[in-house]
Amino acid sequence: MDQDPVETPGYDAAVVDLLGVLAYGELTAFIRMAADCDLAPTLALKSAMGRLATTDYQHYEQLAAHLRGLGVEPEEAMSPFVAPFSAFHERTRPRGWLEGLVKAYVGDGIAKDFYREMSALVDADTRAVMQEALGDEGHADFVVQIVRDTIRADRTAAGRLALWGRRLLGEALSQAQAVAVERDAMAALLVGGGLDLGEVGRMFTRLTENHQKRMTRMGLDA
C-alpha cells in the first residue's frame, strides 16, 4: 500500500460507506434468511438456517456499534444501500427451500470474500470489526452436504441450481457495480487506497473464481 489509508482524502466517508453497506447487507441477509426458514422441509433445517440468520444479525450489531462509536447513526450510513439490496433480494426470491439454501451459502461466500478484500484497505480498528464477521466462516458449510445429497437423488435439480447460482452472482455483481458508480468515496477507497483499476478488475475476477469453487463444492456446474 502506497500510503496510510487514514490519510487518503475522503477516507472517513469511505469507511462509513463501507461499514454501512456491510451492516445493511447483514441486516437484510438476516431478514431474508430467517424468512426463508419457513420454506425448510424439516425442523432440523429450520433450526440450522435460523442459526445462520442469527449470526448475520450479530455481525450487523457489531458493525452498527462501531458506526455509533465513530459518531455516525447506523441508519444514516445504511440508507444509501437500501435500494440496491432491495433490488437484489427482489430479483433473487428463492422458489423453494433448496434455492433458499444455495442463496444463503453463495451470498455468505461472496460477502466473506468482499470483507476479506476490503479489510486489506482499511485502518486497524475497522479491520478488527470486519474480522469478527470473518471469524464465523464455515457456519454455512452444512449446506454443501444437503445440496450434494439432493442432486444425487434428483439430477434435474443440479441443472436448475447451477443456473440459479449464476443468476445470484450476476445480480450481486450488477448491484455492486451500481453501488460503486453511486458511491464515489468507497470507489476511491479501492482505487486511492493503492489499487489501480486493473487491480479492481482482478478483485472481481477473484470474487468470481471463489464463487465458482463454492459451486463446485456443492457439486454444481459454475
Does residue number 82 form part of the binding site for its own copies (CB under 8 A)?
yes
Which lies closer to its own copies via its Cβ, residue 33 or residue 162? 33
Does residue number 199 form part of the binding site for its own copies (CB under 8 A)?
no
Q: Which amino acid is at 156?
A: T
**H or E, element range at 74:** helix 74-78
What own/partner pairs with CB < 8 Å and gap ≥ 24 does 79-85 have?
79/20, 80/17, 80/20, 80/182, 80/183, 81/20, 81/21, 81/24, 81/25, 81/179, 82/24, 84/175, 84/178, 84/179, 85/24, 85/25, 85/28, 85/175
Does residue number 78 form part of the binding site for its own copies (CB under 8 A)?
yes
Tell me if 52 sits within 8 A of 108, measured CB to CB: yes
Does residue number 10 form part of the binding site for its own copies (CB under 8 A)?
no
Region near its own copies per CB under 8 A, out of 49-57, 101-109, 118-126, 189-197: 49-57
Does residue number 57 form part of the binding site for its own copies (CB under 8 A)?
yes
Rg of the chain, C-alpha, whole Å: 17
- How far, in Å, CA of 192 to CA of 171, rounded? 26
Region near its own copies per CB under 8 A, out of 3-11, 44-52, 100-108, 209-217: 44-52
Which of 14, 15, 21, 53: binder of its own copies (CB under 8 A)? 53
Shortest separation between residue 4's beta carbon and its own copies, angstroms: 32
Residue holding cell 444509501? 80
Which lies closer to its own copies via its Cβ, residue 77 or residue 168? 77
Does residue number 34 form part of the binding site for its own copies (CB under 8 A)?
yes
Residue 191, burial from CB neighbour count under 10 angstroms (0-12, 13-18, 19+): middle
Binding-site residue total for its own copies (CB under 8 A)?
27
Shortest separation between residue 85's beta carbon and its own copies, angstroms: 11
Query: Could you list the residues that contact its own copies (CB under 8 A)?
Result: 24, 27, 30-31, 34-35, 37-38, 42-44, 46-47, 50-51, 53-54, 57-58, 60-61, 64, 74-75, 78-79, 82
